[in-house]
Structure 1
Amino acid sequence: MSVHLFGIRHHGPGCARSLGEALAALAPDCILVEGPPEADALARYAGRADLVPPVALLLYAPADPQRAVFYPFAEFSPEWQALRYASAHGVDLRFCDLPQTHRFGLRAAREESNEVADDIHADPLRWLARAAGYGDTETWWDHLVEQRGDSLDLFAAITEMMTALRTEAGTMADDVEAKREAWMRTTIRQAVKEGRERIAVVCGAWHVPALAVLPSAKSDADLLKGLAKEKVAATWVPWTHGRLTVASGYGAGVTAPGWYRHLWRHRERAGLHWLTEVAALLRRHDLDASSAHVIEATRLADALAALRGRPRAGLDELMEAVRAVLCYDSDAPLRLIRRELLIDEALGSVPDYVPAVPLAQDVAAQQKRLRMPVRADATELNLDLRQPAHLEKSVLLHRLSLLGVPWGRQQSVRGRTGTFHEPWQLAWEPEFAVDLIAASRWGATLESAATALAADRAAQAQLLPELTRLMETILLADLRAAVAPLMARIQEVGTLTPDLGLLLAALPSLVNVLRYGSARNVDTGALGSVVDGLVLRACIALPYGLRGVADDAAAGLLGQIIAADQAVRLLQDDAHAAAWFDALEAGATSDLSHPLLAGRASRILTEQGRWDAERAARQLALRCSPAVPPLVTAHWLEGFLQGSGALLAHSDALWQIVNGWLLAQPEHVFTELLPLLRRTVATFSAPERRELGERAAQAGGTTASVTPAQAVDPARALRVLPILHTLFGTRPIQETVHDA
């Protein structure tokens, strides 16, 4: 009987290559791999050709799927090579780490105590890297281990190094790590007890000294006594190279997984192959890269390695040579190289027969049927909802989004009109597997789960806008079974909603529902009565809802009025439009309305032709009269003019009234109003500000006054010009001011 310890880095191509040769030479009859024992039954799938790394073991608590942990594997991971060897040679393989059924409980206790590992145990190799003259552990380990050509002697050297380091570091204070190593030793004893002759143990290099000499079984049993248990489930999920750069599972993370995969695939002359790939990448993007560049970069990288006393050029030397020779010291090509080659984003694949929750299987089946491949990098998808296949893809994406799985993010429509076009950006994240498991409590299929979740949200929602937004969502997701109960809930809450803001906020979503009905072939006729009732209540409440409103509340209500106005006009219903404009007119002409909101109501009535220019000018003149406090007038002007200076630029009557009112203000009042006026003018477009500025500069802007009989003081008018130039962003025009 013999136990052979192979200390490795979890994602190291040199370790993986050496481990493969060591296993071939040893021919073990039992392999123990650092990993969760709950996944022992899943290890056999590693030998299947359609389980393509990078993949990860996902372990989660079925009672709370968000409590989950990943154990990722790449093709250059030593553990993956051990799994493949065991499958190919029929060798018994077990995971020997502390089970997650216990670690979930230990992790919760550790988080509650805010325990943090000390520096040396957080990164024990940092000391050795600094002593060897390297700035970081990654570069040091890469040169020392991953690029080495030997194999069998490597593990003896790692054992010696780690023994010395752990002796210097002293006793480990981390209770979880101590329990992990106790469980590993217990697993080794069990394999020995079973009569295994050649036991291979593949574990993180740091753990090797703790497993080399076994203490008494009783001491380890005492350490593991009383561990809490929690039910845990496991499955395989796709992973990405990008996620390999993040510490996960057993705390491993590498900065350049694409480079490590390159080292795994090109053992001989890896540097030359790398520079050739760099040149090919630059050429694909129409950047200058020739064979002469590759030769020169190879020479420079070798020279840098020799100057630094390193046996061969590593990634640092190669990237420095690339920057100097191929990138002309520019960062733009380097960013491309880092993204495409250093990370080399790739998404693994997991076959359908691997055990998974029914919801995840249903989603995978729909993705396959609709020919929507799962990819880690962002891809564009433009859907035309008039095509049945495209409509099904849209429904799938909206249902996933409702369940909290944002595989697709809807983009704004550019250059296209109508409601039939939906542009999406798709990017799959490995964590979506956890989200699907968490969502499986709502149902076994995507449709049933989304419907159940929508029904629950409808029952919990207390505000009308929440319900109307949910109605829009379930229509986009084609959850027809949820429409009728949700409409009943909207009707119930709507009749009990007296708040004007809530009524107005509910309208845009419902109008969108009616708009999408034709595109999605959904009967929304019954929703028309709900919309009719809400519009009627909003019109009744509007004139009174504008009264007695504080400034902050008025600012919020302003946006709701603008959105509701667009929604009412989108309905294209003459009766609704007439009632809406009547309500706006009642609010616009009332002295009790907040001036900001009264100004916006006047603006809508003018833009929509309900008021002609003369009526608008009369209302403006009333608001700008000396009897009205200047601050009230400024608020009214903000509501009337915000977002568009065209009303002033194209109407002499409105311009003369506003300009005259400004000129009539005393200096101290104008200074007080300036921030509010500037905020209003800032919403104008640059051409509008320029046109108004030029108009203000002509004849001092004194073409009219609120009081025609009042004499104009040219010197006083000139003092206003610098402030107007600041407001409108124009340059002064040298002109002579004439008396009126």
Structure 2
Amino acid sequence: MSVHLFGIRHHGPGCARSLVDALQALQPDCILVEGPPEADALLAHVGEPGLVPPCALLVYAPAAPQRAVFYPFAEYSPEWQAIRYANEHAVPVRWCDLPQGYRLAGAQGAEDGDAPADVADVLAEIAADIPADVQADVAADVPADVRTDEQAAPSTLRSDPLAWLAEAAGFSDTETWWDHLVEQRSDGLDLFAAIAEMMTVVREQIGGRENVQEDLLELRREAYMRNSIRAAEKQGWQRIAVVCGAWHVPVLARMPAAKRDNDLLKALPKEKLAATWAPWSYGRLTFASGYGAGVVAPGWYQHVWERREQASLHWLTDVATLLRRHDLDASPAHIIEASRLADTLAALRERPRAGLDELMEAVRAVFCHDSELPLQLIRRELLVKDRLGEVPASVPTLPLVQDVQARQKRLRMPVRADTVDLDLDLRQAPHLEKSVLLHRLAMLGIAWGSRQVVRGKSGTFHELWRLAWQPEFAIGLIEASLWGATLEDAATARAVSRGAAVADLAALTGLMEEVLLADLRAAVAPLMARIQDASALTTDLGFLLAALPPLVNVLRYGSVRGTDTAALSNVVDGLVARACVALPFGVRGLADEAAAQLLARLIAGDGAIRLLQNDEHGAAWFAALASAVRSEATHPLLAGRAVRILTEQGHWPMGEASRHLVLLCSRAVAPLAAAQWLEGFLQGSGPLLVHNDELWHAIDGWVLSLPAETFIELLPLLRRTFGSFQAPERRQLAERASAGAAGAAGAAIASARGGMHAVDPVRARRVLPVLATIFGGAAAREAVHDQ
């Protein structure tokens, strides 16, 4: 009976290849792999055609799915290859790490400080279990400058226990050192013996640690692993292979008394957990994603796994292909030169073959000409090479997950890690089903797709989505299973729950739009009742106006989705009537900040009422706006917008707008009120000034008549108003201002102000640079220079 320990790095192609060779040589009759025992039943799926890595074990609490743990695997993960070997050779295989049921259930207890007082003593016993002659022999092989004193070792080595070995070997980081030392080797059993000796020295040098809770967790994990080995021995297996992190090898090699391990695991709380396989992505295997056991370049490691010694050449070929695809120069000569340069760098550094560092330096010099931009493309597309794994339907999972997967398969919408644009024509039944699927997932908080602005096509019949699947959505689907067993049932229950919790009318109508877009017919009635109750109690003009656009959109475009909008019509009619009644009084006596907020809702409400194309609603709306304009208590910002709406829709002639403007420019009105009126009237409407002489002369004359102090005070507000125009509009206005068309309008307003002096041309020219800055445009600046 023998136990063979294989210390590995969790995502290392060299380790995986050496492990496969070692297992073929050993031919074990039992394999134990570091991982959660709750997922033992899922081991049989490894190697099935439908289970394609990268994928992850998802272990979660059914009562609270947000409490979950992922165990990611790539094709080149040693654990994955060990399990595949076991399944292909009919060798019993099981997970041997401390069950997550203990760890999740004990997390709260650990926070409360339930660690035993003798943890340090147990650590000392473990260190004492390593024979002194082994420690001395291995330590003698470590360079003197690597060894640290007892005080410095814990603090300097704890964060990265291998960093000091990498530094002593002449490497700048642990990743590169491990890659050259381990991943590029394939010497089977000898490699794992060397790893065991190395980790023995590392653990002896680090000694005790400061974090008692962390130490306790590691002690319990290693105690459970040893008990798993003891259980396999009792079952009579003769050649037991244990695949675990290299860190654990020294303490698993020496078996202490079973009682000590049992005492560490005694009376631990345990929680019942479930497990399944979930798709994973290479992007989530990187250090940059926050994954502690991640690697720098999973895409490169895939080349190392598939191509072995030819990985460098194939990878450089992929670099050339990628650059050519983006219209960048890359020829076979570039590949040859880069390969030679990388090999030369490896030889100068006394390394057996070119690694990723040498290849990236060669690519920078040969392909990118020391430019960073192509390198960013290469890092994203080839070093990470983001792709998503696949999980077959045979893997046991929850009904909601199965329903979503079935819909994705039927609609031919595979999950992918990269972004995909999806253009839907809702007049086609399959496209409409895809839209409904995405909206229902969004209702459950799973933002697989994000809506994009539709350009060049009718917004009525087209939706543009950008899809990007995230591995965390697997947890989201499990959490959403609490709402129902199918996607429609879960989304309906979630919508009804959200409606019951919301009291704001605008939020309710927005939710109604989401419900109808997701075709959740069973949620319409309870949500409609909530909207009717809320609208009956709402008197605030802002809430009424904010509630209109979502419902009007549904009424206007509901026919595209086959939505029954009859019930919504009565609600919309009531909201429009209440908004028209509240408008004349709701715009009075407002502070500037409140008026600015109401302005956006007024514009949106006006657009919604126009979409209805209802003459009765339009007449009531225009009458309410006219009443608001005639009141002196109406805030000038809102009065200006009301005049703009009445003028644009032909309800008032342009002369009426000019009359209001002249009145505001009189001496009796504060300049700030006139500027606010102009902001409301002109915001976003440059052509109105460009093509209407009457308005232009009135505004131009008013600006010229302002005293210097008042003009400087109003300048920020004026700049904000004219800054909302498009660049061509500002250029046209600047050209018109440079023509000097102040004319009679300025004199008339100056005369109306009573006894003001005639315009002094010398003093007038002083304001031209300021106006040129406001209006912008080269023509204005040239005119000022000519003056």
Q: Aligning the two structures, in what range does the TM-score lie when normalised by the shorter sequence?
A: over 0.9
- What secondary structure does 1:549 align onto? coil
Letter in 1 for 2:765: L
CA distance in 1, matches of 2:269, 2:555: 54
Change (3 A) 1:544 1:92: same
Residue type of the alignment partner of 2:579: A
Report deviation, 1:197: 1.4
Q: Aligned runs of 1:105-116 on 2, under 5 Å?
A: 105-108=105-108
User: 1:680: Cα distance to partner?
Assistant: 1.1
Compared CA separation, residues 118 and 400, structure 1 to 2 (3 A): farther
Q: Deviations over 1:547-590 (max 9, x none)?
A: 11111111110000000000000110011111111111111121
1:630-661 Cα distance to aligned partner (Å, 9 max, x none): 11111111111111222222222222222222
Residues 701-730 of structure 1, C-alpha deviations (whole Å, 9 max, x = no match):
344232446542223322222211111113
| Native 8 Å contact 1:33 1:202 kept in 2 | yes
* Structure 1 residues 601 and 308: CA distance shift in structure 2, 3 A: same
Alpha-carbon distance between aligned partners in 1 of 2:266 and 2:533, rounded to the nearest angstrom? 57
Please say if residues 769 and 784 of structure 2, whose CA atoms lie closer than 8 Å, have aligned partners that are also in contact.
no
- Match of 1:31, SS? strand
Residue 783 of structure 2 corresponds to 733
Secondary structure in structure 1 of the residue aligned to 2:766: helix
Alignment-derived partner of residue 52 in structure 1: 52
Change (3 A) 1:321 1:105: same
Aligned counterparts, 1:73-152, within 5 A: 73-108=73-108, 120-152=157-189
**Aligned pair partner of 2:196 in 133, 153, 159:** 159
Partner of 1:726, secondary structure, is helix
Query: Against the structure 1 CA distance between its residues 224 and 540, is the aligned structure 2 distance closer, same or farther, given a 3 Å change threshold?
Result: same
How far apart, in 1, do the equivalents of 2:171 and 2:261 lie?
A: 38
Looking at structure 2, the residues matched to 529 and 69 of structure 1 have their Cα atoms a distance apart, in angstroms, of 50
Q: Superposed, which structure 2 residues align to 1:609-688 within 5 Å?
A: 609-688=650-729
Distance in 2 (alpha carbons) for counterparts of 1:510 and 1:55: 42
SS in 1 for 2:3: strand
1:676 deviation in Å? 1.2
Corresponding position: 1:20 with 2:67: no
Report the equivalent of 2:10: 10
Is the counterpart of residue 469 in structure 1 residue 510 in structure 2?
A: yes
Native 8 Å contact 1:293 1:325 kept in 2: yes
Q: When the two structures are superposed, what TM-score results if normalisation uses the length of structure 1? A: 0.96
Which residue in the other structure is 2:377 paired with? 336
Instruction: Provide the residue aligned with 2:629 in structure 1.
Output: 588
1:314 is aligned to 2:347: no
Partners of 2:744 and 2:686 in 1: CA distance: 19
What is the percent sequence identity of the aligned residues? Answer: 66
- Displacement of 1:81 after TM fit? 0.6
Residues 407 and 579 of structure 1, relative CA distance in 2, 3 Å threshold: same
Which among 225, 248, 252 is matched to residue 207 of structure 1?
Answer: 248
Letter in 2 for 1:713: V
- Give the counterpart letter for 1:261 in structure 2: Q
Q: Which amino acid aligns with 2:673?
A: V
- Kept after mapping to 2: 8 A contact 1:699/1:735: no
Structure 1: stretches of 5+ with no match in the other structure:
none
Residue 426 (structure 1) aligned with residue 467 (structure 2): yes
Structure 2 equivalent of residue 281 of structure 1: 322
Alpha carbons of 1:641 and 1:250: their partners in 2 closer, same or farther (altered >3 Å)? closer
Query: Alpha carbons of 1:632 and 1:201: their partners in 2 closer, same or farther (altered >3 Å)?
Result: same
> AA paired with 2:52?
V
Cross-structure match for 2:489: 448
Given that residues 690 and 696 in structure 2 are in contact (C-alpha distance below 8 angstroms), is that contact kept between their aligned partners in structure 1?
A: yes
- Cα distance in 2 for partners of 1:230, 1:308 equals 52
Q: Alpha carbons of 1:294 and 1:404: their partners in 2 closer, same or farther (altered >3 Å)?
A: same
Distance 1:286 1:649, change over 3 A: closer
TM-score between the two structures when normalised by the length of structure 2: 0.90
Q: Counterpart in 1 of 2:759?
A: 713
**2:576 is matched by which residue type in structure 1?**
V
Taking a change above 3 Å as real, the CA distance of residues 735 and 445 of structure 1, as seen in their structure-2 partners, is: closer
The structural deviation recorded for 1:353 is: 1.2
3-state SS in 2 of match to 1:451: helix
Q: How many residues were matched structurally?
A: 735
Q: What corresponds to 1:33 in structure 2?
A: 33
- The RMSD of aligned alpha carbons is 2.0
Indicate the residue corresponding to 2:149 in structure 1: none
Q: Distance in 2 between matches of 1:86 and 1:697?
A: 85
CA displacement, residues 654-681 of structure 1 (integer Å, 9 cap, x when unaligned): 2222222222222212111111111111
Matched, 1:696 2:737: yes
Q: 1:530 to 1:250 in 2, by over 3 A?
A: closer
Local SS of the residue matching 2:667? coil
Q: How far does residue 109 in structure 1 lie from its aligned partner after superposition?
A: 5.7
Q: What is the alpha-carbon distance in structure 1 between the residues aligned to residue 623 and residue 243 of structure 2?
A: 80
Give 2:692's aligned amino acid.
S
**Cα separation, 2, equivalents of 1:37 and 1:401:** 34
Change in CA separation of 1:622 and 1:564 when aligned onto 2, cut-off 3 Å: same
Counterpart amino acid of 2:764? A
1:233-253: CA deviation from partner (whole Å, max 9, x where unpaired): 100111111111148999410
Deviation, 1:210, is: 1.5
Take 1:109 and 1:698, find their aligned partners in 2: how far apart are those partners?
80
Kept in 1, the 8 Å contact 2:232–2:240? The answer is: yes
> 1:699, 1:276 → 2: CA distance?
65
1:723 matched residue in structure 2: 770
Task: Quote how far apart the aligned CAs of 1:119 are.
Answer: 6.0
Contact in 2 for aligned 1:702/1:717 (Cα 8 Å)? no
Does residue 187 in structure 1 map to residue 234 in structure 2? Answer: no
Alignment partner of 2:745: what SS? Answer: coil
Q: Which amino acid aligns with 2:781?
A: R
CA contact (8 A) 2:283 2:289 kept: no
For residues 469 and 95 of structure 1, the distance between their equivalents in structure 2, rounded to whole angstroms, comes to 49
The whole-number CA distance in structure 2 between the counterparts of 1:733 and 1:283 is 49
User: Quick check: 720-729 or 1-10, which moved more?
Assistant: 720-729
* Cα distance in 2 between the residues matched to 1:243 and 1:112: 32
Tell me the equivalent position of 1:412: 453
Q: Which residue of 2 aligns with 1:538?
A: 579
Q: Please state how far the C-alpha of 1:3 moved relative to its aligned partner.
A: 1.1
Tell me how far 1:732 sits from its aligned partner.
4.6
Matching residue within 487, 496, 518 for 2:528: 487
CA contact (8 A) 1:420 1:519 kept: yes
Structure 2 distance, partners of 1:247, 1:119, is: 23
Distance, in Å, in 1 between the alignment partners of 2:312 and 2:767 is 70
DSSP 3-state at the match of 1:66:
strand
Q: What are the equivalent positions in structure 2 for 1:553-572 lying under 5 Å apart?
A: 553-572=594-613
Query: 2:290, 2:367 → 1: CA distance?
Result: 38
* Structure 1 match to 2:70: 70
Contact 1:3 1:201 in 2 (8 A): yes
1:216 to 257, 263, 266: 257
Displacement of 1:308 in angstroms is 1.2
Q: Which amino acid aligns with 1:134?
A: F
Q: How far has the Cα of 1:188 moved from its partner? A: 1.5
Counterpart CA distance in 1 for 2:109 and 2:598 is: 48
The match for 1:358 among 379, 399, 404 is 399
Distance 2:220 2:267 in 1: 12
Q: Which amino acid is 2:38 matched to?
A: E
Contact 1:72 1:248 (C-alpha < 8 Å) held by counterparts: no
Distance change (3 Å), C-alpha of 1:703 and 1:250? closer
**CA–CA separation in structure 2 for the residues paired with 1:402 and 1:122:** 42
Q: Per the alignment, in what secondary structure is the counterpart of residue 104 of structure 1?
A: helix
CA contact (8 A) 2:772 2:784 kept: no
